[in-house]
Amino acid sequence: MSGLIAVIAPWFHLLATQLPATAPQGSNSVAARAAIGGLFSIHILIAGLISGAAELGPAIEWLGYMRQRPRYDRLAHGLGRFITVYFSFSSFIAILLITVLLVGLWGHFWTTMVTIAWWPLFIEAWSFVLQVVLAYLWYYTWDPLRSFKGVHMALGGLLAIASFIQVYMIDIVASYMLTPTNPTNPIRLVLNPTSYPLTLHRTVGNLAYIGFAFGGFCAIKFLRAKTAEDKAFYDWAGSFGLIWGVAMTLLQPIIGYSYAKEIQLHTYGSWYKMMRGSLSTVFLWQMTLLGIMFLTATFYFARRLRTNEARGAGLLKLMAAGMVLTTLLAAMPYHLAFTLDQVQAAGLDRPFWQGGLINPLGAMIPWKVLALMTYTLIAIAAVVWYLRGLPGVVWGSARRGEQRLLMVMTVLTMAMIVTMAYIRENGRAPDLIAGQMQIQGQQNIQEPHPSPAPASTP
Amino acid sequence: MALPDPRRLSRRQFGILGTQLSGAIVGLALGIPIIGFLLSPLFRRQQYVERMVGDISGVPDREPTKFEVAFPQNAWDVPEVKQAVYVVRVNGQTKVLSNVCSHMQCPVRWEKTLGQFLCPCHGGLYDISGHNVGGPPPKPLPEFVHRIDGTTLYIENRFTEDI
Amino acid sequence: MRRWLGSAYNWLDERSAIRSLLRKGLYEAVPVKGAWFYTLGSATLVLIILQLITGIFLTLLYVPSVKEAWESLDYIKEHDAFGSIVRGIHLWSAYILLFMIGLHMVRTFFSGSYKRPRELNWVTGVGLLVLVLGMAITGAFLPWDQAAYWTAVVVTNIPAYTPVIGSFIRALWRGGDVVGPITLVRTFGIHIWLLPAILFPLIGAHLALLRKHGEFGSYVNYRGAYRTREGVEVPPAPQQRRIEPPYPATPSDELWAAPLETEDFYPHQTFKDGVVSAALVLLVFILAVTIGAPLEATADPATTSYTPVPQWFYLPLDQLLVVVPKQLIPLVLVLPAGGVLLLLALPFIDRGPERNPFERPAVMVPGAFAVLFMVILTLLGSGRLFNL
């Protein structure tokens, strides 16, 4: 980690020296966009883990207390250690983001945003303080408060709440940029059309992400473990992380769809760009990636049960086959060109069997929606079947292949997060704040315009 | 002891049969009128009337204009209720659209900023001619049965297509 | 005085057997463990009775007619402070009732209380849930303001997507093709007569079944009281069991429903029930006085500025209407209908003796997902409550 800092820091120093002494307003080149995009991706990847861990850790501790299982406690404790160790790294990135990039390269935008969302950012800052205090308190009072588990779990609950507030506050800012509302009305600002679809999407996403992440981490630890006790623990924890991750991920399609619906109703231009415009191929990749994630998980479930010849492995393999078919459906492109506009401009707006460039099977409605529903249903069935088979599993007996699947899962999740961040942040372009500020030169748009629908189609 | 003749109705069987028959008579005498009463509004002929909307020569191109027309309600003597009529001119063609969404019959409105008709309930979107462009509505925006006499528009209280 | 009362009581008892009735009613042995969770049911009952009382009194003024429904309620709002409170209580106790009935159901579900021999308790409970939802939705039509009118339009339109007979059902409820005078009168009749006529007998059955089997369905009362199929483990002797066995109700039951510790229903459980119910009724009262029942402008089918907002309790369904594409709209019907059928079938599907929620994932996990999806859909749809 310190190596990473050592690699990144000089670059930022270089960037910082490039800052103009005055008037930061015009200074955004491709490099500035790439810098903020890259750093934000790293930030999201780390911060998502930390808030996920701060919300899931206490939940696992509570679960362990309810069921009187020490391994849950050990897992929660491990998550606590992760938070305390990586918090500093996360803060480092955040400070870099604010000082160098936002203040320096995107000064006008940042001043505007701070003016508009002063209170959310203020609460955000305080929730950081709260989170730091609670995270360290929660981790370091683990043993001292062992006989006062209730008090300790309450601390954990507060930590989870602080983390949630943090995510919500920054999502107000992020969602405002896509679906701005009247900024002088604080209620409209806090409850702007996409603020809580986004918060829900991210909170559930962070919870899934931490599950997949510690799943992969435990897979590595399992392969290196020496004692039988450690092997059993990491085997179990990896499996638990995956179940948890899948359970959360399968909630995402419906949240994401509602989120996209809000974007369609409030910033039609961005929605059009994501679904039919230049981002539609990235979106297609996202749909496919989701299928691959579910497929990998189902495959793990089937293999893990088969290793111990527990019941249900056969049916899970069938579900994996179902996931393959569903992914194939979800991966179908609608327009066989980069954007729908190109197809329409070329006059090839008809099905491919009539010589056009349209593939009706790739339509969002109903085929992709159907695929999303099928993902969800199969995933639920897979989780249930896996849990039914679990009593037949002997922890510690996992094979290499399953652990590799867990590691692949972590990588896939990270790819998913970066993909989604890319879509959302580029959906606004060329606007920085939809209808209010442009990326180019951070120019305010004089007559704020909601993006209208393209010229009426016949 | 002589067994009862199976071909003859015993006193007991007669009692059972009689009770059941009485029940059936009561059930039929009550059931038929009640079900008929419940269904009767469905079989009464709908009353379609024609009403004048007004002069539509002033409706600008590509700018749906709302009119309100009162129609009698399909029951006893209650006040007439107003219905909204969107008169749309696109490239010289006139369309007389209702504001009833084909999805769940919510009140559709013309959103100038979107350039589309929006149903605020479930986010259905229609283009200026009432064709579906987004959201869940299964059919286009319904059109009133209408007649244009010179520049005066008359409509009936029914749509060209059932929704 | 005391003697006079005593002899009057004896006189009454001789003619009505009221003493043994009270004994039986008040001194049932109930478990100590989980008693606070058992107050959810009694709170639900209290709120339903609140509904009945305020509902009866509201009919003394409300006029079920499109011309006068709104006007009569507007009269209450403008000129009748106590009437407004009664209306407020009717509304808010309905809202809280829906919430409590949900909690009661979730409690029963997770604690495995629906298992043999209590399957019919669960089935009648599902029936009660459906009826209460029906009461809530029909009640929402009655004020005939904008909110009520558009609720009526949307809700009566949903069944129209049933294949083949859809438009027939819609027309039957509406009493014609469009929502109008007949719709209001019909819905009023359903709300005050048809549904209550089924609801109250069903409540009686629910309570009678509860008393028959005892309040020992929850898994917390099963811990350490196992009798496996092999008959190995013998339950520890219950300490304070006073009223006659048999718990379990049938000797063939594989698990003993034997609370380790019991106490009398009166006054121990009634105290807890009373505290919870009084707190809820107080909450209802406060909400009724401070917020009251809203009354929007009178119904206007020609509006193009009003944004219909669904009642919060069917937000999950309404949000499904947003996300489900046109080809799959019948799904919106299949999901709730299938959900109710699954709920009815639950005790007959999950028949194993295990009651610990952590040990029966095959039922708990889908159930937890169902609850989670409802919560998420509600959250996603709630933006429209704030008119965003």
Q: pLDDT tens for residues C50-71?
A: 999 999 999 999 999 998 999 9
Question: How far is it, in rounded angstroms, from Cα C148 to Cα A70?
Answer: 54
User: What is the distance in angstroms between the Cα of A63 and the nearest Cα belonging to chain C?
Assistant: 10
Of C308, C290, C375, C270, give the one whose Cα is nearest residue C85: C290
Q: Cβ C176–B74 below 8 Å, yes or no?
A: yes
Using CB atoms, pick whichever of A261, A450, A457 lies closest to residue B133. A457
- Contact predicate A277/A341, CB 8 Å: yes
Instruction: Determine which helix (DSSP H) or strand (DSSP E) holds A110, and give its type and residue range.
Output: helix A107-116
Task: Find the closest chain C residue to A384 by CA distance.
Answer: C362
Q: Residue B118: list chain A partners with CB under 8 A.
A: 265
Q: Cβ C301–B42 below 8 Å, yes or no?
A: no
Q: Distance from CA of residue C353 to its chain's centroid?
A: 27
User: What is the distance in angstroms between the Cα of C173 and the nearest Cα belonging to chain B?
Assistant: 9
* CB hemisphere CA count around A78 (13 angstroms): 20
User: What is the distance in angstroms between the Cα of B109 and the nearest Cα belonging to chain C?
Assistant: 5
| Neighbouring C-beta atoms of residue C294, cutoff 10 Å | 12
- Residue of B44, B67, B73, B110 best to disrupt the C interface, most CBs of C under 10 A: B73
Q: Which residues fall within 8 angstroms of residue B70, CB to CB, at 6 or more apart?
A: B51, B80, B81, B82, B83
Question: Per mean pLDDT, which range of A418-422, B21-25, C143-147, C383-387 is the poorest?
Answer: C383-387
Of C246, A59, C174, give the one whose Cα is nearest residue B42: C174
For helices C270-290 and C81-111, angle between their N-to-C axes, nearest 10 degrees: 140
Question: How far is it, in rounded angstroms, from Cα B33 to Cα C205?
Answer: 31
Whether C237 has a pLDDT exceeding 60, the answer reads no
Instruction: Please tell me if residue C166 touches chain B, with a CB cutoff of 8 Å.
Output: no
Instruction: Please provide the size of chain A in residues.
Output: 458
Question: Per mean pLDDT, which range of A218-232, A296-310, C2-16, C322-336 is the poorest?
Answer: C322-336
* CB hemisphere CA count around A153 (13 angstroms): 13
Q: Cβ A264–B129 below 8 Å, yes or no?
A: no
Report the pLDDT value the prediction gives residue A375, as an integer from 0 to 100: 95
User: What is the distance in angstroms between the Cα of C138 and the nearest Cα belonging to chain B?
Assistant: 17
For B137, the 3-state DSSP assignment is coil
Positions in chain A whose pLDDT score sits under 70: 1-29, 446-458
Of C107, A307, C306, give the one whose Cα is nearest residue B99: C306
Inter-chain contacts counted by CB atoms under 8 A, chains B and C: 101
Can you read off the two tokens belonging to residue C193?
A: 């007569």
Of A309, A337, A442, give the one whose Cα is nearest residue A28: A442
3-state helix, strand, coil in chain A (%, to 5): 80, 0, 20
Q: Which residues fall within 8 angstroms of residue A441, CB to CB, at 6 or more apart?
A: A25, A26, A28
CA distances for B15 relative to A233, B8, B18, angstroms: 76, 13, 5
Using CB atoms, pick whichever of A452, A457, A458 lies closest to residue B113. A452
Report the pLDDT value the prediction gives residue A15, as an integer from 0 to 100: 62
CA distances for C166 relative to A172, B163, C159, C333, angstroms: 43, 12, 6, 11
Inter-chain contacts counted by CB atoms under 8 A, chains A and B: 32
- One-letter identity of residue A88: S
| Winning range, highest mean pLDDT, from A195-199, B141-145, C362-366 | B141-145
Report the pLDDT value the prediction gives residue C236, as an integer from 0 to 100: 45
Question: How far is it, in rounded angstroms, from Cα C192 to Cα B111?
Answer: 41
User: What is the distance in angstroms between the Cα of A291 and the nearest Cα belonging to chain B?
Assistant: 24
pTM of the model: 0.88
Instruction: Please tell me if residue C171 touches chain B, with a CB cutoff of 8 Å.
Output: yes
User: What is the distance in angstroms between the Cα of B127 and the nearest Cα belonging to chain A?
Assistant: 6
Q: Cβ C304–B107 below 8 Å, yes or no?
A: yes
- Residue of C380, C384, C386 best to disrupt the A interface, most CBs of A under 10 A: C380
CA C352-C353-C359 angle, 5° bins: 80
Q: Which residue has the tokens 């209730």?
A: A150
Question: How far is it, in rounded angstroms, from Cα A96 to Cα A99?
Answer: 5
Can you read off the two tokens belonging to residue B112?
A: 């100038």
Report the pLDDT value the prediction gives residue A306, as an integer from 0 to 100: 94
Of C97, C8, C17, give the one whose Cα is nearest residue C54: C97
User: What is the distance in angstroms between the Cα of A448 and the nearest Cα belonging to chain B?
Assistant: 11
Beta strands, E only, A43-192:
none
Report the pLDDT value the prediction gives residue A73, as an integer from 0 to 100: 93
Task: Find the closest chain C residue to B79 by CA distance.
Answer: C67
Whether C252 has a pLDDT exceeding 90, the answer reads no
Q: Residue C65: list chain B partners with CB under 8 A.
A: 78
Task: Find the closest chain B residue to A452 by CA distance.
Answer: B114
Report the pLDDT value the prediction gives residue A458, as an integer from 0 to 100: 29
Task: Find the closest chain B residue to C178 by CA distance.
Answer: B74
For A390, the 3-state DSSP assignment is helix
Q: Cβ A369–C324 below 8 Å, yes or no?
A: yes
| Bridge partner residues of B95 (DSSP) | B88
**Neighboring chains of C (3 or more beta-carbon pairs < 8 A):** A, B
Report the pLDDT value the prediction gives residue A154, as an integer from 0 to 100: 95
Q: Cβ A262–C383 below 8 Å, yes or no?
A: yes
- Contact predicate A281/A335, CB 8 Å: no
Report the pLDDT value the prediction gives residue A366, as an integer from 0 to 100: 85
Question: How far is it, in rounded angstroms, from Cα C69 to Cα A301?
Answer: 59
Instruction: Please tell me if residue C375 touches chain A, with a CB cutoff of 8 Å.
Output: no
Instruction: Grade residue B3 by pLDDT with cuts at 50, 70 and 90.
Output: low
Beta strands, E only, chain C:
29-31, 262-264
Q: Which residue has the tokens 């989870």?
A: A160
Q: Cβ B109–C158 below 8 Å, yes or no?
A: no
Report the pLDDT value the prediction gives residue A456, as an integer from 0 to 100: 36
Question: How far is it, in rounded angstroms, from Cα C88 to Cα C108?
Answer: 30
| Neighbouring C-beta atoms of residue C130, cutoff 10 Å | 18
Overall average pLDDT of the B29-52 stretch = 88
User: What is the distance in angstroms between the Cα of A162 and the nearest Cα belonging to chain C?
Assistant: 20
Report the pLDDT value the prediction gives residue C229, as an integer from 0 to 100: 42
Q: Which residue has the tokens 């069997």?
A: A353
Answer whether the bond into residue A366 is a cis peptide, omega within 30°.
Answer: yes
3-state secondary structure A111-136: HHHHHHCHHHHHHHHHHHHHHHHHHH
Overall average pLDDT of the C334-363 stretch = 88
Using CB atoms, pick whichever of B78, B104, B107 lies closest to residue C157. B104
Report the pLDDT value the prediction gives residue B20, as an integer from 0 to 100: 97
Whether C238 has a pLDDT exceeding 60, the answer reads no
Quote the percentage of chain C above a pLDDT of 90: 59
- Contact predicate C77/C84, CB 8 Å: yes
Q: Cβ C167–B162 below 8 Å, yes or no?
A: yes
Report the pLDDT value the prediction gives residue A203, as an integer from 0 to 100: 95
Using CB atoms, pick whichever of B114, B123, B129 lies closest to residue A261. B123
Whether B122 has a pLDDT exceeding 80, the answer reads yes
Task: Find the closest chain B residue to A449 by CA distance.
Answer: B113
A345 vs C48, more confident: C48
Using CB atoms, pick whichever of B68, B78, B123 lies closest to residue C66. B78
ipTM of the shown complex: 0.90
Report the pLDDT value the prediction gives residue B150, as an integer from 0 to 100: 87
Q: Residue B127: list chain A partners with CB under 8 A.
A: 453, 456-457
Using CB atoms, pick whichever of C150, C172, C177 lies closest to residue B106. C150
Instruction: Please tell me if residue B43 touches chain C, with a CB cutoff of 8 Å.
Output: no
Question: How far is it, in rounded angstroms, from Cα B144 to Cα B104?
Answer: 18
Residues 84-113 of B with CB under 8 A from C: 84, 99, 103-110
Of A81, A85, A89, A82, give the one whose Cα is nearest residue A6: A89
- Residue of B81, B111, B157, B163 best to disrupt the C interface, most CBs of C under 10 A: B81
- One-letter identity of residue C239: Q
Quote the percentage of chain B above a pLDDT of 90: 58
User: What is the DSSP secondary-structure string of A394-442?
Assistant: -TT---HHHHHHHHHHHHHHHHHHHHHHHHHHHHSTTEEETTTEESGGG
Instruction: Grade residue C232 by pLDDT with cuts at 50, 70 and 90.
Output: very low
Using CB atoms, pick whichever of A264, A449, A452 lies closest to residue B134. A264
Q: Cβ B113–A453 below 8 Å, yes or no?
A: no
Whether B46 has a pLDDT exceeding 50, the answer reads yes
Instruction: Grade residue B4 by pLDDT with cuts at 50, 70 and 90.
Output: low
